[in-house]
Amino acid sequence: MAEAFSTYRAMQVRAAEAPLLAAGEPLMRRAAAALASVVRDELTDAASSRVLVLVGGGDNGGDALFAAAELASVTEVRLLLLSDRFHEEGLATAIAAGAARVELPEARDAASGYDVLIDGMVGIGSSASSALRGTAREAVELLLPAVRAGRPRVVAVDVPSGLNPDTGEADDTVLPAAVTVTFGAVKAGLASGRGPSLCGRIVLVELGLERGLADEVPAGEASVDRVVRG
């Protein structure tokens, strides 16, 4: 049963994460494990399924790569890198686990053959300007027809890439998610503007930010479909 949770702005979430990161908490690995678990639940038959991971250059890309490493043991995983910079340890871990890289033309041509697409391009670092640019924008434009036709289903990492995490503003170059797996706290943009129409079901991964957010004023409220422990 869905439950109401407070939403927070990106700045508030980053401030709540800071003490945990300073203490050496492996938040990325914990988030990635929870993400992989949610994606597995989206696969009807993991042994015969295919997963495409869109990898950006920020922390969301790292989350997606470490999740890809866990998924590669149970299903076919392909990685589409959309930035010149990426989480090197995450990529090495995913490749060692059996994931393989693809280029954009191949991903576009085979898009409808994937069961799930993990959107790990851009996260809450996009709050200044939500619109996708460059190769990430090109990839979304090329993959949108297959997604809108119903296959693959999109699992967004933290927020759908291109959606402003604070306001919910977005243009039309966003992959509409079936599920958004949001980390630590529900981002305000998932419940405002175009957020509700683009994020699908919200799964909240608890990472222990409650103490850091206790004195913060929530931005609003959102309906959360499921809560998992990261």
Annotated binding site: 59-63, 119, 158, 161
Q: For the chain, what is the largest distance between any 2 Cα atoms, rounded to a whole number of angstroms?
A: 49
Spell out the SS3 assignment of 19-85: HHHHCCCCHHHHHHHHHHHHHHHHCCCHHHCEEEEEECCCHHHHHHHHHHHHHCCCCEEEEEECCCC
CA distance 80 to 101: 6
* Binding-site annotation: residue ranges for (6S)-NADPHX: 59-63, 158
What tokens appear for 136 in the block? 């990430």
* Binding-site annotation: residue ranges for K(+): 60, 119, 161
CA distance 61 to 216: 28
